[in-house]
Copies of this chain bind each other. A is one copy, B any other.
């Protein structure tokens, strides 16, 4: 590679300053020529605000990197070395629908693996396909670094269905978990002293930890984080999206593995649902909060004197996502062989999942991509959940590609966060109608539902 061209789809995102901060932090590792921020018409205003700020950041860092703002995706992709994806089809309004429509029927919305996350996959996967179609033509050697959620499903679609093997899927959750454990052990964030081993699916993994002396300290970290005597307010803060509901300490202890923070939805389904219903009643769902935060952020970004990432962005929730993307890029460019937790081809890393599935596992990031480290088999209790979640992902991806309503219903039926039955059907139907604009693959079915009187009225 010569000097790098990086294209960021969804460049108008409020996260863009974090991404730029990440690049700037790695200026010695990354010889960047140009960064193209791409967005769509509806996002033009935000793109211009955040793009101007990004340019100020580059200038403040005294770098000669070009920053291009464009609505022309093909121009951005042309000869790119890296394509990062941080777009949100339908913007935050879509997320609000994802979360509130299920809650209206008394059902968990959950913007990643629940009904909401499935609909996000339905909207996103066709767009990923069209990006990859362009990449095949315009930048056939580029890496796709995806952090659009649901990151695991999007990565599986990209690699297994659309054939872009040079895809790496990212998530900030493993980073947050590592930093929590680091803090408990008196270590700096991003310290590499502890050895972490993660395996599972995006937003659905477990991990183990060893110290420098070779002792497994998983148990100790469980005690530190989830011990019975720890008051909820003293529990370590996870990602902003998830209420800090305490896990069942005895259960986690018995599992002998550190759960992903999203496991609360599965280990405490009814309790979490009650909490979300409460928030819903108060018009206080996560998406609604995020929207308010975003508005505030863009107000800040407009300040022509702001040339660094404001601390308020950390409260947004997606912290470390963009940094992870920068680190993956730096690892590939420099063959750093750093161990990161990424969504990549399973190939036996987790014995309980299909060979060609995408798994989220600790991997060695080399200049030729991710080399996953073997995890082995899970015990029954984790294995069963993992397998049904993978099956749910497979059905969802298939539905996203084919637009088949019954395949989507299968995904709904087997999703452990959804109680199948009449209400689930109503949720599914209303979500389809509400997201009509972004679900062209379901156009016929949506028309049929509308003709039967299904409507979305907020």
Contact surface of A with B, Cβ cutoff 8 Å: 1, 195, 197, 210-216, 248, 250-251, 253-255, 266-274, 332, 335, 337, 339, 347-351, 355, 364, 366-369, 371-377, 380-381, 383-385, 387-392, 394-395, 398, 404-407, 409-411, 413-414, 416, 419-425
With A268-B420, A421-B269 as contacts: A391 and B395 at CB distance below 8 Å:
no
Q: How far is the CA of A270 from the CA of B105 in the complex (A)?
A: 12
Q: Which residue of B lies closest to A254 (CB)?
A: B406
- Report yes or no: B395 in contact with A251, Cβ–Cβ below 8 A: no
With A368-B214, A420-B266 as contacts: A414 and B385 at CB distance below 8 Å:
yes
Q: How far is the CA of A390 from the CA of B379 in the complex (A)?
A: 12
Other-chain residue from B270, B335, B348, B421 in contact with A424 (beta carbon distance below 8 A) = B270
Q: How far is the CB of A426 from chain B (nearest CB, A)?
A: 11
Q: Which residue of B lies closest to A393 (CB)?
A: B380
- Report yes or no: A355 in contact with B377, Cβ–Cβ below 8 A: yes
Q: How far is the CB of A414 from chain B (nearest CB, A)?
A: 5
- Report yes or no: B421 in contact with A268, Cβ–Cβ below 8 A: yes
11 additional contacts (CB under 8 A) given A268-B422, A348-B376, A374-B374: A213-B335, A266-B413, A268-B420, A270-B419, A271-B422, A348-B350, A364-B373, A380-B398, A381-B413, A384-B392, A388-B388
- Report yes or no: B267 in contact with A367, Cβ–Cβ below 8 A: no
Q: How far is the CB of A305 from chain B (nearest CB, A)?
A: 41
- Report yes or no: B254 in contact with A407, Cβ–Cβ below 8 A: yes
Other-chain residue from B371, B391, B411 in contact with A197 (beta carbon distance below 8 A) = B371
From A255, A274, A385, name the one whose CB has the most chain B CB atoms within 10 angstroms: A385
- Report yes or no: A414 in contact with B384, Cβ–Cβ below 8 A: yes
- Report yes or no: B395 in contact with A381, Cβ–Cβ below 8 A: yes
Q: How far is the CA of A271 from the CA of B422 in the complex (A)?
A: 6
- Report yes or no: A366 in contact with B266, Cβ–Cβ below 8 A: no
Other-chain residue from B197, B347, B423 in contact with A374 (beta carbon distance below 8 A) = B347
Q: Which residue of B lies closest to A253 (CB)?
A: B406
Q: How far is the CA of A140 from the CA of B216 in the complex (A)?
A: 17
Q: How far is the CB of A251 from chain B (nearest CB, A)?
A: 5
- Report yes or no: A348 in contact with B335, Cβ–Cβ below 8 A: no
Q: How far is the CB of A105 from chain B (nearest CB, A)?
A: 10
Top 5 A-B pairs, shortest CB-CB distance: A384-B391, A214-B367, A270-B421, A254-B406, A387-B387
Q: How far is the CB of A421 from chain B (nearest CB, A)?
A: 3
Q: How far is the CA of A388 from the CA of B267 in the complex (A)?
A: 14
- Report yes or no: B348 in contact with A410, Cβ–Cβ below 8 A: no
With A254-B406, A351-B347, A422-B271 as contacts: A210 and B376 at CB distance below 8 Å:
no
Residues in chain B near residue A367, CB distance under 8 A = 195, 210-214
Q: How far is the CA of A214 from the CA of B387 in the complex (A)?
A: 33
- Report yes or no: B374 in contact with A348, Cβ–Cβ below 8 A: yes
Q: How far is the CA of A351 from the CA of B347 in the complex (A)?
A: 8
- Report yes or no: A270 in contact with B380, Cβ–Cβ below 8 A: no
